[in-house]
Amino acid sequence: MRKIIYRFSGIESVAESLNPFYYLSKIFFKLFSFLNGKSILHGPFKGMILADLRRGSEYAPKYLGTYESELYPYFDEYKSVNKPTMIIDIGADDGYYSIGLSKTLERGVIYSYELNPDSCVHLQKNIEINRELLNKSIQIQVINKKIENFLDIRDILETHKDYSILIKSDIEGGEYDLFQESFIKSLSKYPLTILIETHLSLEMENNLIDNFIKNGFKTEMIDKIYKKNKIYYKHLNLISRILLFIYWNNWTNEHRPKFNRWIKLSNI
């Protein structure tokens, strides 16, 4: 049922799909985006274009530049490093982070792993429509594959072990299967930072963190950031300001489950 609802309404919540206010909000968001153009309005990925407005309830916060803004300071750390950056984006989806980071980084390579073939199509499409905006010194390699164990990325890490390395993982609960202690132990041999979005339960998250700590990683919990709407009014016309004021809470809602947050793990 949830998959059917997601396909036609773009959201996973049954209750939200029955809310008429939500559909009115979607209609007015199309007007808002028509008035303000196709490019992301704010944040580190400002100017980037995402191809499909119908794709998922997360499109609005991405477009406004509020999406998972708690991560933005951590990406800033890679803007002016003395060596090239290598990013492994596990669960790349539509390429929001892969493409956005390739726009902001100075030089390096991004490996975008995405298991869903439909998402890979959107990812490739978004790469093409942003081609002129991307940093020519950053390569994006799209890989339609599930990472099963360390062997799947060993050669990539060995090839780029002198790079500044970031692994970003958002795989909807699959992080607990992937980041087993043997995998973490293998990763600990490389100086790197990992950003993991955790799901499902505090107990599973604690076990995951314990395994990282046992293998020499420092842990930092990343808190959500409250997004103030006033800073987004600049340069907007009157109609857009009114729409943003009325629908702010709906348009910045990332439709996250109750237990869902990011963790930074580093052995640098």
The pTM of the full predicted model, rounded to 2 decimals, is 0.87
Q: Report the distance separating Cα 38 and Cα 59, nearest Å.
A: 12
**DSSP structure class, residue 70:** G
Q: Which of these CATH numbers, 1.10.10.10, 3.40.50.150, 3.30.420.40, 3.40.50.300, describes 2-266?
A: 3.40.50.150
Q: Report the distance separating Cα 104 and Cα 262, nearest Å.
A: 21
Kindly tell me if the per-residue pLDDT of 8 is higher than 60: no
**In this predicted structure, what is the pLDDT of residue 15?**
66
Q: Report the distance separating Cα 144 and Cα 118, nearest Å.
A: 10
Residue 64 to residues 34, 35, 202, 225, 233: CA-CA distances in angstroms? 13, 13, 30, 15, 11
**In this predicted structure, what is the pLDDT of residue 105?**
87
Nearest Cα residue to 265 out of 190, 207, 203, 213: 213
Which of 1-10, 111-120, 165-174 shows the lowest per-residue confidence on average (mean pLDDT)?
1-10
